[in-house]
Amino acid sequence: MGVAVSAGSETNSIFRNDGGIDRTLIQQHFSQLTAGNIMKMSYLHPSENTYTFEHADQLVNFALENNISIHGHTLIWHSDYQIPTWMKNYTGDYATLLQEHVQNITSYYAGRVVSWDVVNEAFADDGDSNAINGYRNSLWYQKLGPGYIEQAFIAADAADPVADLYYNDYNLEGGQQKFDYVLAMVDDFKARDIPIDGVGFQMHINIEWPSESQIKNAFQQVVNRGLKVKITELDIPVNTYANPDKYQTFTAEAAERQKDKYREVVAAYLDVVPPELRGGITVWGLYDSDSWLIDLHGRPDWPLLFNDLRQAKPAFDGFVEGLSD
């Protein structure tokens, strides 16, 4: 059971002066932490010859001191705001850049970080007119073609052969064509012995989508390939794209529907994924206003397990019921 947290100098850092209540909540309920931001590229590798590990080390040390594991997020990502400027303007060999970036970070945390999102969101959304054979037309694709993904996995495995290595993406669980591209990549990797241990399902879903059968089917496709399934970024808002303003307050109805969806997701995971292939379930944020969705959509929502008073919501009970099921 994991949770994504803010750390370092971020506004909601669990290490701010009043963050003790958050740290206590983490110690009570979670066995794994993911850094929401501070282990991404621009934070750890801000210039070509500089790595800044101080803030990430603080989080890793806190976790290890409290018998909590760390899932690393993320070594390679397309997002423009998280690619440091020097990488965008680099004039040298990008294959060497990628290899050194991945190996230096992974080897630094070897033995302390149990798993990594090695590559994040490499495939395009359905209908993306800029997609190339299903791949997102990212900086990495432009410089190295689709081979950059396997290069990152090979480099991470060489630096830490013990850590579990995941490909991580969103919108894989609802029947999208994107998932077919991911599965084709996984099959190709397995056929060529490219090291990969699992697939991370971000699971940024909502109370109405996707269906339980869609979720189970997606998990099963990965299980059938003998890979681990990890829910990496779970949140369940009560407002949807189809009906974004239905709930202006967190009503009893909204709370109950959210509770049911959390229970459904957890129960589906345990039903489909055998124990040896369970990478775990991580909720993307500790309390509701800590969620990235609030800033993204600019509207009220309550997507997480705890409210802003750090009190467990019905969603928490739904999660527990899913474990019991």
Q: What is the pLDDT of residues 237-260, one digit of tens each?
A: 999 988 999 999 999 999 999 999
Please tell me which residue in 150, 173, 233, 264 is annotated as part of the active site.
233
HEC states along the chain?
CEEEECCCCCCCCCCCCCCHHHHHHHHHHCCEEEECCCCCHHHHCCECCECCCHHHHHHHHHHHHCCCEEEEEEEEECCHHHCCHHHHCCCCCHHHHHHHHHHHHHHHCCCCCCEEEEEECCECCCCCCCCECCECCCHHHHHHCCHHHHHHHHHHHHHCCCCEEEEEECCCCCCCHHHHHHHHHHHHHHHCCCCCCEEEECCECCCCCCCHHHHHHHHHHHHCCCCEEEEEEEECCCCCCCCCCCCCCCCHHHHHHHHHHHHHHHHHHHHHCCHHHEEEEEECCCEHHHCHHHHHHCCCCCCCCECCCCCECHHHHHHHHHHHC
Cα atoms in the 13 Å half-sphere on the side-chain side of 223: 17
| Each residue's pLDDT expressed in tens, for the chain with a length of 325 residues | 999 999 999 999 999 988 899 999 999 999 999 999 999 999 999 999 999 999 999 999 999 999 999 999 999 999 999 999 999 999 999 999 999 999 999 999 999 999 999 999 999 999 999 999 999 999 999 999 999 999 999 999 999 999 999 999 999 999 889 999 999 999 999 999 999 999 999 999 999 999 999 999 999 999 999 999 999 999 999 999 889 999 999 999 999 999 999 999 999 999 999 999 999 999 999 999 999 999 998 899 999 999 999 999 999 999 999 999 7
Query: Quick check: 251 and 238 in contact, CB under 8 A?
Result: no
Is 121 one of the annotated active-site residues of the chain? yes
Q: How many angstroms separate the most distant Cα atoms in the chain?
A: 57
Question: What phi, psi does 316 have (nearest 5°)?
Answer: -60, -45
Tokens of 206: 């909502």
pLDDT score recorded for residue 19? 82
The model's pTM is 0.97
Instruction: Indicate if 233 belongs to the active site.
Output: yes
C-alpha closest to that of 315 among 243, 238, 249: 238
Catalytic residue among 48, 54, 65, 121: 121
> Which one of 3.30.465.10, 3.40.630.10, 3.20.20.80, 3.30.70.1400 gives the CATH number of domain 2-324?
3.20.20.80
